[in-house]
Amino acid sequence: MPKSTSEARTPDHVGKTLRELRRSRRITIQQLADGLNRSTGYVSQLERGLSQPTLKDLYAACTIFGVPMSWFVDLEEKQPEAEREKDIVVRAGQRRFMLHRGARTELLTPQLDSDVEFMMSTFEPGLETELKNVPTAGAEYGYILKGRLELWVDEEKFDLLEGDSYRFNRSSTYHSRNPSKTEPTIIIWVGVYK
């Protein structure tokens, strides 16, 4: 008896999502396997949709990648009429997102890409990001859609207002802060990894 559409899609969708997350974070199969306390062969099978992850595996992957469990939900199953859009369009109410210490970051593309990230981040009032000093190739570009942002690049501070934009090399050290005590800051940003 053939599997139902949702049964057939689930392992493949979860595997594809794991692979996208791993590649976008530049994590090897071995590193992910170590984080999951599994073998590389098992992770490879998950990514190819040949095995179904346990709930424990999914929770561990969420912790490793910093994403909620909803990241693995196949939105296509909830919205079958959107089949033709699935690799092209992301509807406002269907964005995948990450929550981290007062910041909500939403993926603005249908899938993750290992070369480019297109995101929207909302910083709660007073939120300050951690200092990042992970030298990688590429650059980050940003646009302040709403609010204010204090941005430090290589220890130099920049005060940005709504409508301002920025660019810096990913090889720089950087962090940022929403200086407002009452208003969120919304940033549209693109990370290019080349």
Q: Is the pLDDT of residue 2 over 80?
A: no
Predicted confidence band at 134 (pLDDT cuts at 50, 70, 90)?
low
Which has the higher per-residue pLDDT, 83 or 53? 53
Average confidence (pLDDT) over 36-47: 92
pTM of the predicted model, to two decimals? Answer: 0.68
167: left (phi over 0), alpha (psi -120 to 50) or beta: beta
Structure tokens at 162: 């709504």
Which has the higher per-residue pLDDT, 55 or 161? 161
Nearest-angstrom CA–CA distance, 70 and 176? 27
Q: Is the pLDDT of residue 45 over 50?
A: yes
Share of the chain above pLDDT 90, in %: 38
Predicted confidence band at 4 (pLDDT cuts at 50, 70, 90)?
very low
The amino acid that residue 119 corresponds to is M
Nearest-angstrom CA–CA distance, 142 and 185? 12
Predicted confidence band at 157 (pLDDT cuts at 50, 70, 90)?
very high
